[in-house]
């Protein structure tokens, strides 16, 4: 855990099929997240199964490529151990070899952390990695359903410019493919969550045009027990969601295939806000802020906003190729974004004492912004009901735990906005371990030091407000302090209330006001 300076996972894969979810909108599927395939995306194509892996990208616990490392690979057969993979994604317990068990043959990673390997058949493998003064051993699974030639393996080390250290965390990766009716499914969302213990998803990935995905995780070892009771969630717009129990452990798992089934109709909608020009309620949203230059902005698709602090005070995640550009609206031509349109971040006025560089950016004062909906009539609505929306965010990574900052709160009022109750907070509680200076590193809706992208928010229950006639929603961003405010902020779009069971952890705090 890092404190503020001034204020303080190869197994035989089970093909999982989602079920349920009728078209009347009344099913209680535990997750209905629905990412959208953007125009211009390549159409899904059928591909022949590929069961051998020939390329591995080796990453450390910070998602950084481990370059110029020495690597040895040992299969369970070579080690004389039984390959135990029979239907699990990760092994709940793994017996690891020691360095002496590995042979003399070794590989070297290139400048991108990539190593070419002899075609790896489905099996359980062990990877020994030596970099600088540290060597680690981790387990790596290749499932019998593997369809990709390349994958990613996470080593439980954290490397900075001078040294590497073994991390005290649960680190690993999950890779595979999402399919529907025998075809790859593009733009499906894959997440891992330990529920309230991690406050929802702690890592997320989207499938590419061939349905492939790769996600990584770095979670505090204090959450080991919670991770053994985690959920895998797979969602796509127009498809029944899949939720599968999974024990997340220290390992990498590749070649997992998940099946989604199509819905038989459209999801029933109780209330919706698109922020588009034809929205009858767009002009009725109220904007409030504590700093005039940092606020909720109605972002248009023709706006070009870039974070001016990139490589000066903040860094992009290793897999971020955007050059710091704030994305276009998540759907359609308009969305709301919290930040400063001139500078592309939520820093506001920079402190005159902020001269060191790559310190996350220091404001002269903390800032807060509220975006409040018009009144919503739920007087004739029965529970279950829940809230979802498209989201994108990038904030500081210094304290992703109960003492977190850059808070993203979902609040509700039933007294015409006089008082609000926080019902959900989006900030994950994964508290990753790292020897890096975390001040300039981002945490996004896809995970620690991972590039942000559009995702569908897990359903947030509004059951408490069924039958109420004057409901207002409020989206609050609150930095809490003046430190590490040079990141790109929070975007929301396509807000929907629908008759579906909420599953996202509800906030248990007491900051109603």
Report pLDDT digits (tens) over 8-36.
333 333 334 343 333 333 344 434 444 44
Q: Per-domain residue ranges for the chain?
A: 20-33+52-259, 269-513
* Angstrom distance (rounded) from CA 499 to CA 28: 9
Bridge partners (DSSP) listed for residue 259: 17, 179
CB contact at 8 A, 295 and 370: no
SS3 call for 491: strand
Nearest to 476 by CA among 327, 296, 329, 271: 296
Report pLDDT digits (tens) over 161-192.
889 999 999 999 999 999 999 999 999 999 99
User: How large is the average pLDDT for residues 89-96?
Assistant: 88
DSSP secondary structure string for all residues of 151-187: EEEE-SEEE-SS-EEE-SEEEEEEEEEEEETTEE-TT
Report pLDDT digits (tens) over 472-510.
999 999 999 999 999 999 999 999 999 999 999 999 875
Would you state the pLDDT for residue 15? Answer: 39
Question: What's the whole-model pTM score?
Answer: 0.89
* Angstrom distance (rounded) from CA 353 to CA 337: 28
CB-neighbour burial class of residue 119 (10 A; exposed 0-12, middle 13-18, buried 19+): exposed
Report pLDDT digits (tens) over 411-436.
999 999 999 999 999 999 999 999 99
Report pLDDT digits (tens) over 365-412.
999 999 999 999 999 999 999 999 999 999 999 989 998 999 999 999
Would you state the pLDDT for residue 83? Answer: 73
How much of the chain, in percent, has pLDDT values that exceed 70? 89
Handedness of CA 187, 39, 240, 267 (dihedral sign): positive
- What pLDDT band is residue 74 in, cutting at 50, 70 and 90? very high
The lowest-confidence range among 18-32, 68-82, 86-100 is 18-32
Would you state the pLDDT for residue 32? Answer: 43
* Angstrom distance (rounded) from CA 446 to CA 466: 31
The CATH architecture that domain 269-513 belongs to is Sandwich (2.60)
Element (H, E) at 410: strand 407-413
* Angstrom distance (rounded) from CA 113 to CA 131: 11
Q: Which CATH topology does 20-33+52-259 take?
A: Immunoglobulin-like (2.60.40)
């Amino acid at each position: 855990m890092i404190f503020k300076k001034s204020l303080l996972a190869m197994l035989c894969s089970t093909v999982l099929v989602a079920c349920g979810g009728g078209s009347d909108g009344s099913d209680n599927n535990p997750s209905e997240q629905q990412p959208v395939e953007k125009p211009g995306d390549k159409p899904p194509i059928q591909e022949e199964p590929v069961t051998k892996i020939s390329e591995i990208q080796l990453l450390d616990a910070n998602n950084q490529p481990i370059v110029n490392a020495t690597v040895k690979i040992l299969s369970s057969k070579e080690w004389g151990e039984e390959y135990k993979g029979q239907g699990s994604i990760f092994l709940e317990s793994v017996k690891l070899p020691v360095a002496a068990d590995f042979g003399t043959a070794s590989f070297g990673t290139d400048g991108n952390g990539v190593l070419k390997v002899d075609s790896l058949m489905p099996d359980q493998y062990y990877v020994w990695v030596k970099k600088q003064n540290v060597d680690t051993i981790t387990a790596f699974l290749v499932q019998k359903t593997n369809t990709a030639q390349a994958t990613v393996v996470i080593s439980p080390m954290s490397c900075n410019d001078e040294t590497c250290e073994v991390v005290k965390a649960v680190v690993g990766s999950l890779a595979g493919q999402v399919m529907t009716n025998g075809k790859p499914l593009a733009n499906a969302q894959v997440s891992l969550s330990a529920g309230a213990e991690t406050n929802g998803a702690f890592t997320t990935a989207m499938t590419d045009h061939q349905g492939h995905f790769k996600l990584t995780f770095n979670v505090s070892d204090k959450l080991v027990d919670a991770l053994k009771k985690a959920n895998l969630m797979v969602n796509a717009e127009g498809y029944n969601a899949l939720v599968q129990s999974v024990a997340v452990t220290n390992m990498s798992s590749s070649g997992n295939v998940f099946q989604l089934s199509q819905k038989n109709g459209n999801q029933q909608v109780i209330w919706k806000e698109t922020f588009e020009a034809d929205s009858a309620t767009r002009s009725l949203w109220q904007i409030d802020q504590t700093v005039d230059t940092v606020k909720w902005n109605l972002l248009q698709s023709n706006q070009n906003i870039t974070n001016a602090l990139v490589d000066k005070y903040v860094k992009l995640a290793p897999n971020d190729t955007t050059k710091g550009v704030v994305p276009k609206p998540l759907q359609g031509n308009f969305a709301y974004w919290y930040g400063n349109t001139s500078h592309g971040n939520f820093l506001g006025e920079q402190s005159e004492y902020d001269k060191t560089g790559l310190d996350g950016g220091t404001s002269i004062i903390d800032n807060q912004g509220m975006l409040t909906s018009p009144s919503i009539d739920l007087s004739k609505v029965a529970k279950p009901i829940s809230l979802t929306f498209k989201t994108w965010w990038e904030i500081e990574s210094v304290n992703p735990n109960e003492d977190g900052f850059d808070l993203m709160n979902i609040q509700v009022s039933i007294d015409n906005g006089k008082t609000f109750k926080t019902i959900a907070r989006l900030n994950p509680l994964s508290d990753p371990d790292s020897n890096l200076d975390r001040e300039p590193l981002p945490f996004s809706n896809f995970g620690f030091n991972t590039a942000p992208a559009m995702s569908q928010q897990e359903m947030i229950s509004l059951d408490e407000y069924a039958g109420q006639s004057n409901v207002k929603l409020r989206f609050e961003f609150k930095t809490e302090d003046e430190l590490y405010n040079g990141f790109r902020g929070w975007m929301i779009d396509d807000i929907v209330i629908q008759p579906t069971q909420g599953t996202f952890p509800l906030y248990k705090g007491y900051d109603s006001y």
